[in-house]
Amino acid sequence: MIFLKMIKIKTIFLFIIATATLQSTHAQMILLEKSKSTFEELIDQDGLVLVEFFSNGCVYCRMIEQELRLIANNNPDITVVKVDVRRHGQLSGKYRIGGLPTLVYFKNGQLIKKALGYVKAPVIQKMLDIYGESL
């Protein structure tokens, strides 16, 4: 029991550090916890929005989180949204999410690219640079 409590405390502590880091750089990395309408509002904004569809049990989803934090910290004008497929099954169905993690790129409310699987931050950055100039 003590071992489980120590892990839980460590996890909470790491979450607090990550939140403080994101707030201090004004990066926008949002964990979607509310309704589908909130998601629609997030993707309908001007500019680029990067959405990761994930599950807590997915190893690659946990690995890509570090990469997404780098992207969010280096691109304060881009919004990164994380969507848990277990909580938001309708959204994953709407965007035909077949594997995890899946990154979905939106620009000015329109879906412009879907990418399946783990990728490093430089690859994500290159895609954002390409899509930031297009459309």
pLDDT in tens, 42-65: 999 999 999 999 999 999 999 999
pLDDT value for 33:
72
16 inside domain: no
9 inside domain: no
Decide which of 27 and 56 is more confident. Answer: 56
Q: Name residue 45's amino acid.
A: Q
Q: Across residues 13-37, what is the average pLDDT? A: 51
List, in order, residues 6 or more apart from 29 with CB less than 8 Å away.
22, 68, 69, 72, 80, 81, 82
3-state DSSP assignment of residue 88: coil
Residue 52 token pair: 């990761």
Instruction: With respect to residue 119, please indicate whether it lies within any of the assigned structural domains.
Output: yes
Q: Is residue 46 part of a domain?
A: yes
Say how many domains are in the chain.
Answer: 1
Q: Which domain holds residue 96?
A: 27-133
Q: Dmax of the chain from CA atoms?
A: 55
In a domain, 41, yes or no: yes
Do the bridges between strand 48-54 and strand 79-84 make them parallel or antiparallel, or are there none, so unpaired?
Answer: parallel
Alpha helix locations (H) across the chain? 2-24, 36-43, 59-74, 89-94, 121-133
Q: What's the rounded mean pLDDT across residues 74-80?
A: 92
User: Tens digits of per-residue pLDDT, 79-113?
Assistant: 999 999 999 999 999 999 999 999 999 999 999 99
Calculate the average pLDDT of the chain.
Answer: 80
* 51 part of a folded domain: yes
Task: With cut-offs at 50, 70 and 90, classify the pLDDT of residue 22.
Answer: very low
CATH number, domain of 39, equals 3.40.30.10
pLDDT for position 124: 97
CB 70 within 8 A of CB 119: no
Look at residue 14 and tell me if it is in a domain.
no
For residue 93, the model assigns a pLDDT of 95
From residue 102, give the alpha-carbon distance in Å to each of 2, 11, 50, 54, 107: 36, 24, 10, 7, 17
